[in-house]
Amino acid sequence: MKTVAYHNLGCKVNSYEMDAMLQALQAQGYQLVPFEDKADIYIVNTCTVTNIADRKSRQMLHRAKKTNPEGIVVAVGCYVQSDTQTLEADSAVDLLIGNNKKKDLVKILEAYMEGTAQESVIDLSHTAEYEEMQITSTAEHTRAYIKIQDGCSQFCTYCMIPYARGRVRCRKKESVLEEIRGLAAAGYKEFVLTGIHISSYGMEELLSLVQAIDSIEGVERIRLGSLEPRIVTEDFARGLSAIAHLCPHFHLSLQSGCDSVLKRMNRHYTAEEYARGVLLLRRFFGNPAVTTDVIVGFPGETEQEFEITRKFVEDIGFYEMHIFKYSKRRGTKAAVMPAQVPEEVKTHRSNVLQAIELRASKAYRASYIGRNAEVLFEEKKYIHEKEYWLGHTREYVKVACRGQDQMLENQLVTGKISAFLQDDILLMD
């Protein structure tokens, strides 16, 4: 029996695909072992979203070869797709498998071991085929991420993903429903629809899919992955609000609150359109959790442009913001734009927005004190030397509950929120 060690880098889509690949390997009799162990085969599911991600991917591939020089080191995924030649020349890597070929990993691997070659990296700019994969379990026991879409056709000036993932390709509705039916029957209660650009699934199609998932027995919660602001129309928000199990938790990608910066980024909306989408969600959902991503120090960003973004995010009042200092990505238009912002300026701007994020996030959590909330509990942890069950509300606010003598994993419990246990954790009585 051959042993396989594995390491995953990157996004939730990568995690889903890694789960599918590992299940395919196990079905063929391979034994999974930790990445630190000596193994016959090493699989690194790579990421290329930043130059740092490229470097981490190389480091993990080299670590695998160092652990067992005789082992087969397999590089899989986005970095393989974006920089095939570099990895072909890397002596630490034995086999490359690109995106849209992950479903064939076992077949490609076994052909390699038999001394024959199979096509393993294809040109994704000329395929419309969605790569069909399915999972029957995940590392989490309560929540399952479900991939419904791949690729992106937006071509933001800072991003390599359209080159690494190809153009938009969507999964068939019945395939998604079949997978969720199986996972719900296995006990999973919460499902997160994810992809590279799920708004490309289409407003009506996405709404129809969520409505169908809502009717599956055993489904208690549905979440949507990152959405583009322009998909949030009045009809879309109204339709979502009628879906019983949809969680009022929305991640709308912002990147900048300044129109001139958004234009340089090649983002396809204005700050006004973004704010309109947030207002619609708040009109139909009351007090939903709205989260976002913001890039500071994009090339050419002036103090005045940053101030516009600062005021915009303060006015919106996000539950959480993921703030990134712009990092050059070789091969993108932004990497060669003039007026690159000094690192110390990026750090200062990041700190300013982090302070706003902390205040707004604490205020949003505090609004739950004294109210009842439904929590799906996931795991036990020690906090302040005491044992608690931890879980999340429908808005994805983290909640803790004392309950050493109860088995709360994967249980939905409604109770009163009484106080903060930590800055980012509320306490349920």
Domains of the chain, residue spans: 3-119, 143-366, 372-428
What is the arithmetic mean of pLDDT over 58-82?
98
pLDDT at 97 over 80: yes
Position 139 scores a pLDDT of 83
| pLDDT more than 90, % of the chain | 95
What is the arithmetic mean of pLDDT over 347-373?
98
pLDDT at 426 over 80: yes
What is the arithmetic mean of pLDDT over 247-268?
98
What span, in angstroms and rounded, lies between the C-alpha atoms of 140 and 20?
A: 14
pLDDT at 405 over 80: no
Position 251 scores a pLDDT of 98
Query: Strand, coil or helix: what is 353?
Result: helix
Confidence of residue 125 (pLDDT cuts 50, 70, 90): confident
pLDDT at 234 over 70: yes
Give 56-62 contacts, CB < 8 A, sequence gap 24+.
Answer: 56/9, 57/9, 58/90, 60/7, 60/9, 60/35, 61/87, 61/90, 61/92, 61/93, 62/92
What span, in angstroms and rounded, lies between the C-alpha atoms of 4 and 27?
A: 13
What is the arithmetic mean of pLDDT over 158-162?
95
- 399 Cα distance to chain centroid: 22
| pLDDT more than 70, % of the chain | 100
Confidence of residue 118 (pLDDT cuts 50, 70, 90): confident
Position 182 scores a pLDDT of 98
Q: What is the mean pLDDT of the chain?
A: 96
In this structure, CATH architecture of domain 143-366: Alpha-Beta Horseshoe (3.80)
pTM above 0.85, yes or no: yes
Give the list of residues 6+ apart from residue 268 with CB closer than 8 angstroms, or none. Answer: 154, 228, 230
pLDDT at 404 over 70: no
Give the list of residues 6+ apart from residue 158 with CB closer than 8 angstroms, or none. Answer: 265, 295, 298, 326, 329, 332, 333, 334
Position 283 scores a pLDDT of 98
Position 102 scores a pLDDT of 98
pLDDT at 1 over 90: no
Among 66-70, 197-201, 297-301, 327-331, name the one with the lowest average pLDDT.
Answer: 327-331
What is the arithmetic mean of pLDDT over 22-37?
97
The top-level CATH class assigned to 3-119 is: alpha beta
